[in-house]
Amino acid sequence: MFNLQHKIAAITGGGSGIGRAIAELFAAQGAQVFILELSALAGEDTVKQIESKGGKAKTFTCNVSEQAQVKNVLSTIAEDAGRIDILVNCAGISHIGRLDTTTEEDFDRIFKVNVKGVYNAMAGVIGQMIKQGGGVILNLASIAGSMGLADRFAYSTSKGAILSMTFSVARDYIKHNVRCNCISPARVHTAFVDGFLSKNYPGQEKEMFEKLSKAQPIGRMGKPEEIAALALYLCSDEAAFVTGTDYPIDGGYIKLSN
């Protein structure tokens, strides 16, 4: 089950965190992985890790907010590999602030990456997927998109847009055998979390880590590998009947939080 042999997968933000975990798992399951990553070093590091375990991967330095760059990279992948079976949109950035503390510059920056970046990548593969007779698109949303989080106005808004785009694409292209779903994680322990704590709570990292962990009813943060496992299912042939759906993976946050 969950065999991705002969599948071509393009993954944005595959150089770190959840994106890297997904890239590594997909490669382990037989997919040929192409990473679109802003950091050339991070992308190359993921490729080396995949290749060290016998997998196939290649990275392209790419700013997902720049449509010409994204379309050019995806066209190159389709030309070289002959198809693109899977697109996973993981690239994203965060921002702390309420409505009254979010500047226009911050708002535009978040939307350029989190919303336009996803739009650019989907627009870059949809023609190829129609041409080849189908494909799978998976977007990384967040519980912030469906319920909002305190002090995350722009970020929550951007992730709400991911939900709407996912549902719209699923509806518009179901007749072309293109499936589109999204995943909504709660807090996941990545290097981003560690950096956030050291920057905003110097000397209190351990205390704040515990507090953020216990915000999930299950009592801990998620692991990138756990998100990757759900992504693998949704992008595999075993999920052929699944489209137009958001999957919370949140340690009980949405349903069980007080």
Sign of CA dihedral 12, 13, 19, 25: positive
Task: Please give the pLDDT value at position 196.
Answer: 81
Kindly give, in sequence order, each residue whose CB lies less than 8 Å from that of residue 32, ignoring residues fewer than 6 positions away. Answer: 7, 8, 9, 56, 57, 81
SS3 170: helix
Asked, for residue 68, whether it belongs to a domain, the answer is: yes
Look at residues 32, 251, 14 and name the one whose alpha carbon lies nearest to residue 143.
251
Q: What angle do CA 129, 136, 253 make, to 5 degrees?
A: 150
Per DSSP, helices labelled H in 175-223 are 191-200, 205-214
Domains contained in the chain, number: 2
- Domain range for residue 210? 189-221
Helix, coil or strand: residue 180:
strand
| Residue 254 is assigned to a structural domain of this protein | no
Alpha carbons within 13 A on the beta-carbon side of 232: 23
Contacts of 167 (CB under 8 A, 6+ apart): 244
Within a domain: 257:
no
For residues 128 and 212, membership in a common domain is answered with no
CATH of the domain at 46: 3.40.50.720
Same domain, residue pair 41 and 118:
yes
Q: How far is CA 11 from CA 96, 113, 205, 209, 228, in A?
A: 26, 15, 31, 29, 12
Output the pLDDT for position 257: 83
- Catalytic-residue membership of 173: no
Do 86 and 212 have their domain in common? no
Q: Is 17 left (phi over 0), alpha (psi -120 to 50) or beta?
A: left
User: What pLDDT is recorded for position 186?
Assistant: 96
d(C-alpha 90, C-alpha 192), whole Å? 14
Closest by Cα among 35, 12, 258 to 138:
12
Structure confidence at residue 258 (pLDDT): 66
The Cα 181–Cα 141 span in angstroms is 10
Q: What is the pLDDT along the chain (258 residues), one digit of tens a residue?
A: 999 999 999 999 999 999 999 999 999 999 999 999 999 999 999 999 999 999 999 999 999 999 999 999 999 999 999 999 999 999 999 998 999 999 999 999 999 999 999 999 999 999 999 999 999 999 999 999 999 889 999 999 999 999 999 999 999 999 999 999 999 999 999 988 898 889 888 999 999 999 999 999 999 999 999 999 999 999 999 999 999 999 999 999 999 986
Q: Are 67 and 112 members of one domain?
A: yes
Q: Are residues 198 and 129 both part of a single domain?
A: no
Q: Which of 155, 173, 247, 253 is catalytic?
A: 155
Same structural domain for residues 120 and 159? Answer: yes
The reported pTM is: 0.96
